[in-house]
Amino acid sequence: MRLQGKVAIITGGGRGIGEAIALAFAREGARLAIASRTQTELEQVAAQIRKMGGQVQVIRTDVSRQDDVLQLVEATLTTYGQIDILVNAAGVYGPIGPMWDIDVDEWIQAIQINLLGTFMCCHTVLPHMIESRQGKIVNFSGGGATSPLPRFTAYGVSKTASVRLTETLAEEVKEFNIQVNVVAPGAVDTRLQDQVLTAGERAGDLLARIRRLRETGEGGVPRELPAQLVVFLASDDSDGLTGKLIAAPYDDWQSWDADRIAEVMSAPWFTLRRMDPYTLRPLMDKLK
């Protein structure tokens, strides 16, 4: 029960990875406020949590709307009186195709959900965490953050920006005992991938990968794996770890103890950096 006594807001909690996180948090003893744009999906997740004996509040929220985000935070505080954890799992691909041949409004909407939604949730929750001088925030990265993802510019740009937002915010709130990290979940077969299949050839090289994932499971990651990483980042087990981009399927985070966390924090591991002699020199000096 690593989250016993904690209160967590989970956006995107109605399905996919967000749903898996909500169920994992409930098993660990957290009291939850789950949010998404679809009320029926939230109610279905809430029913599972209540059947487990967990406490959960359903709050329909569009994270791209500031009024909705304010209502989400206020309702959570009214119900529970505290907010200890924020998980920003709401996200969309946005328009798929060559950048010059996509809908501008759809591109902007994806940025509003993936980046501005994350920003507004952090912006609204942080005063309460700062007042209590503790908190955990987990954001989500994705394909396109560490290397280009052609035909998915809105997704790649917003997810890259979410990483740098995480890194910068982590430095700003470090003095208040608040840790902020970002997760790359890997190729999880959620309903998000339906958009890739529907887009067909407009999705470029990613189409073949998603077809293999859907048909054979090749390259796939179970949604429970990133959910368990988020539990780790939200719990006391990750104390001292902040400002890092951690890949659920590739990084050996399951074995990280206090010594390993201190080692990770002592060097520019798991961050976005330009790879050249200037940025690599401090790292090489540490390794000598």
CA distance linking residue 186 with residue 222, whole number of Å: 9
Active site residues: 155
Give, in order, the Cα–Cα distances in Å from 14 to each of 5, 50, 167, 244. Answer: 23, 14, 27, 26
- Tallying the residues shown for the chain, one arrives at 288
DSSP 3-state helix, strand, coil percentages of the chain (rounded to 5)?
Answer: 55, 10, 35
Within the chain, strands assigned E span: 7-11, 31-36, 56-60, 85-88, 135-140, 178-184, 245-247
Amino acid symbol at 164 = R
CA distance linking residue 200 with residue 69, whole number of Å: 34
CA angle (276, 282, 288) in 5-degree steps: 115
CA distance linking residue 155 with residue 244, whole number of Å: 20
CA distance linking residue 85 with residue 242, whole number of Å: 14
